[in-house]
Homo-oligomer: A and B are copies of this chain.
Amino acid sequence: MDDNTNTDSVSLRHRTHQIFEIEHHGLARFINSVLMLLIAITVIIVFVETMPQVRSEYTSWFIWFEYFSIALFSIEYIARLWSAAEIDPEQPWRSRWRYAKSPLALIDLLAVAPFYLGLFIQLDTRYLRVVRLLRIFKLTRYSHSLSMLFQVLKNELPGIISALSILIILIVFASAGIYLVEREAQPEVFGSIPQAIWWATITLTTVGYGDVVPITFAGKVLGIVITIMGIGIAALPAGIIASGFTTEMQNRRDEFRAKLMASLSDGKLTHDELRDIERLRISLGLSLKESKALIRLAGTGHITHCPHCGKDISLHP
Contact = CB atoms under 8 A, between A and B. Distances in A.
Nearest to A201: B224
A261 to B, nearest CB: 5
A1 interface: no
Contact of A220 (B198, B208, B249, B307): B198
A299 interface: no
A176 B46 contact: yes
Residue of A183, A239, A261 with most chain B CB atoms under a 10 A cut-off: A239
A264 interface: yes
A258 B312 contact: yes
**What is the copy number of this chain in the assembly?**
4
Interface in A42-65: 43, 46-48, 50-52
A133 B232 CA distance: 22
B155 A287 contact: yes
Contact of A210 (B159, B210, B224, B261): B210
A228 B254 contact: no
Nearest to A217: B194
A315 B205 CA distance: 50
Chain A binding surface, main DSSP class: helix
A20 interface: no
Given A161-B145, A167-B228, A205-B227, A126 B180 contact: yes
A145 B159 contact: yes
A242 B238 contact: yes
A47 to B, nearest CB: 4
Interface of A: 43, 46-48, 50-52, 126-127, 130, 133, 136-137, 139, 143-146, 148-149, 152, 155, 158-167, 169, 172-173, 175-176, 179-180, 183, 191-194, 197-198, 201-203, 205-211, 213, 220, 223-224, 227-228, 230-247, 249, 251, 254, 257-258, 261-262, 264-265, 285, 287, 290, 302-303, 306-309, 311-313, 315-317
Given A47-B192, A206-B208, A308-B309, 13 more contacts: A47-B197, A50-B179, A50-B183, A126-B180, A160-B232, A164-B228, A201-B224, A207-B227, A209-B209, A234-B234, A235-B237, A236-B241, A238-B238
19 contacts: A130-B180, A137-B169, A146-B165, A149-B162, A201-B223, A202-B223, A202-B227, A206-B206, A206-B207, A207-B227, A208-B210, A209-B209, A236-B241, A243-B245, A243-B246, A262-B312, A264-B315, A265-B315, A307-B315
